[in-house]
Amino acid sequence: MRRTLRFVLASFALAASLLAQNPVATVQGRVLGPDGLPMPNVEVLAKAGARDEAILAKARTDGDGMFVLARLPDDRSLSILAQAPGHTVSHAYSELSPEQPFAGVELRLYEANTLRGRVVDPDGKPIAGASVLGTKDLMRFHGSTQAVETKSDVDGRFELRGVPIGDCVVRVYAPGFALREHTLVAFADRDIELPPLLREEGTTLAIAADGLRPEEAAKVRLWINAIRKGGGRRMPNALENTTLAADGTCRLAGLPDAEWLVHPSLPGVSFEPRTARTKAGERSPKLQFHIAREGSARIRGRLTDSAGKPLANESLVCQTLRAASTDIGSSVRATTGADGRFSMDARMVASEPYSLQLVDSAHVLQQPKTPSMRGNSDPRFLVRWEGVAGPDNEVALVAVPAAMLTVTVRHRDRQPMPFLKLELQFDRAPPHTRTIATATTSPDGIARFPRVHGLEGGFVVFGSGPAGFVRSEPFRLVPGQHQRLELVATPLGRVEGIVVDGAGTPLAGVRLEMGSFDLVTGGQRGDSFYSVPSDRRGRYVFSGVVPDGYRIDVGATVKSDGEGRSEPFEVSSGGKVEVEVKVER
């Protein structure tokens, strides 16, 4: 591990000099196998989206399972995928920005099958070009597992590689036919026999958008999600990511019963509603969207301190808060003059929500508390001012000195710990409002939180990664002051064991969920969560476990797994716990 760390740090000496010349970002991480141990020689890809074909960067893991993806865009979230023969495809997101150009991820691969079959019509004739997807529904494994997809050939044959073992579902869709869902249980590679695809039956979803020119309509991307019983279900890409016809309509027939969530997207255009949703049980739902073209919304105003003194040479950035916006270039900037005044033309539509935020500043905006703010006191929303676009917006902004925090993280041998994601948390806040800001340590082990409100009460820094975790003692952040912390990482723990039925027979492909458990009060805390499947021998491994109390449950998410629960147990730093889980079916 130390050899790899020295190699990574040396390779980033050059990257650091390039970063000073060109705005590029870097993602470093580790790939683990089903046993929770590092996997060498695994291909890792960076893409703009999990299903995009364009590859931004690729690498292979070394002997310690480590990889480095360099020279990535620093203005967006990227998808990082790892894949190896005989295993699932793992997927993680990396949030990158000019202020946070480094990210660290851990990817986990699990045992998988290859499923082969043939797609035919009711007369037994092959259907070529059908979209075939294999997945395990309601799968929340540590390190998200990506559904795998392919298309049938001229003979209707397909091969799906990377389908998780145990219960799974194969979904097949071809225009003119009803979507076929075939559930099965498989613990090894096998040929499957799919029932013939039927002609269009089931739900027909009609989508229309008015006001588009024909050449624009074909460029509209429709993001479609299927929801059943409150949970999302992966569908073939031909359904989840489709387009409008030249007349601004789209008709999807032969769909299964579900709630369908539709979000249209086209740069330069805003849709009302932004997202529409059907109801379960509707056989012929129709969703109508209206468009409004972006114009220049003049946003002007004055920036002062809390005493009313103008603040000059401050840089403000305006960004749309449009839901699921894919327009990366939607932000504009302005600099305040000597009198604190600023003006900018933002490309937005009327009534579109936007935010204003200071950048490269020693100040932070003081967002007024309004009844519309979630919880009315959530500290995460105090760093930006939110408004609604109009023909001529004039705003009065107040800024206060920002509290700044720099955190240095090292191993026990004093070597820096790079690419560790840190969370600045508001101590004693409810879990859903606890995290105020995030940052990732750079190659020299340093993370910076440049602009934070100095609020009453205590803060803590928490971080967990492949090589250990950190948790600071509570501290205060004072406005206008720069706080520095040095933290030493503590080794993580490991939980492993076997899942068996009432007769003691090992159970493969079962989802095991492990949540933090208060050993003193005897209650589930719910602010830590892990999930892994059992392998073909019924064995399971939770790796990288933060020291705490825990309990393992089976059947909390999927009843077909059976029902079972372990006794509560404690995981110590660097320790290993063996737990057998018995399941009733």
The confidence score (pLDDT) of residue 20 equals 39
Residue 287 confidence (pLDDT) above 80: yes
Q: Tokens 């949970």, residue? A: 231
The confidence score (pLDDT) of residue 466 equals 76
Q: Tokens 């001229």, residue? A: 154
Q: Quick one: average pLDDT of 430-449?
A: 81
Q: Flag whether the pTM goes above 0.85.
A: no
d(CA 387, CA 96): 25
According to DSSP, the residues that pair with 562 across neighbouring strands are none
126 or 465, higher pLDDT: 126
d(CA 163, CA 146): 9
- Percent over 70 (pLDDT), the chain: 89
Residue 111 confidence (pLDDT) above 90: yes
Whether 254 contacts 202, CB under 8 Å: yes
- Kindly tell me the sign of the dihedral angle through the C-alpha atoms of 427, 433, 437, 438: positive
Q: Give the start-end residues of each E strand in 501-563.
A: 511-518, 523-533, 539-545, 548-554
| Span of 18-32, 419-433, 493-507 with lowest mean pLDDT | 18-32
Residue 207 confidence (pLDDT) above 80: yes
Residue 3 confidence (pLDDT) above 50: no
Q: Quick one: average pLDDT of 273-296?
A: 89
Residue 150 confidence (pLDDT) above 50: yes
The confidence score (pLDDT) of residue 121 equals 95
Q: Give the start-end residues of each E strand in 370-481.
A: 385-388, 392-401, 403-410, 421-426, 435-440, 446-452, 459-465, 468-471
Q: How far is CA 80 from CA 29, 68, 95, 101, in A?
A: 10, 11, 11, 15
Residues 6 or more apart whose CB falls under 8 angstroms from that of 266 comprise: 212, 216, 219, 220, 221
Q: Quick one: average pLDDT of 113-119?
A: 97
- Percent over 90 (pLDDT), the chain: 57
Q: How far is CA 191 from CA 108, 186, 417, 429, in A?
A: 26, 10, 47, 52
Q: Quick one: average pLDDT of 196-217?
A: 91
Residue 573 confidence (pLDDT) above 50: yes
Q: Given its phi and psi angles, is residue 207 left (phi above 0), alpha (psi -120 to 50 degrees) or beta?
A: beta
The confidence score (pLDDT) of residue 2 equals 41
Kindly state the tokens that stand for 410: 């090292």
The confidence score (pLDDT) of residue 17 equals 37
Burial of 526 (0-12, 13-18, 19+ CB in 10 A): exposed
Mean pLDDT, the chain, rounded, equals 86
Q: Quick one: average pLDDT of 315-341?
A: 75
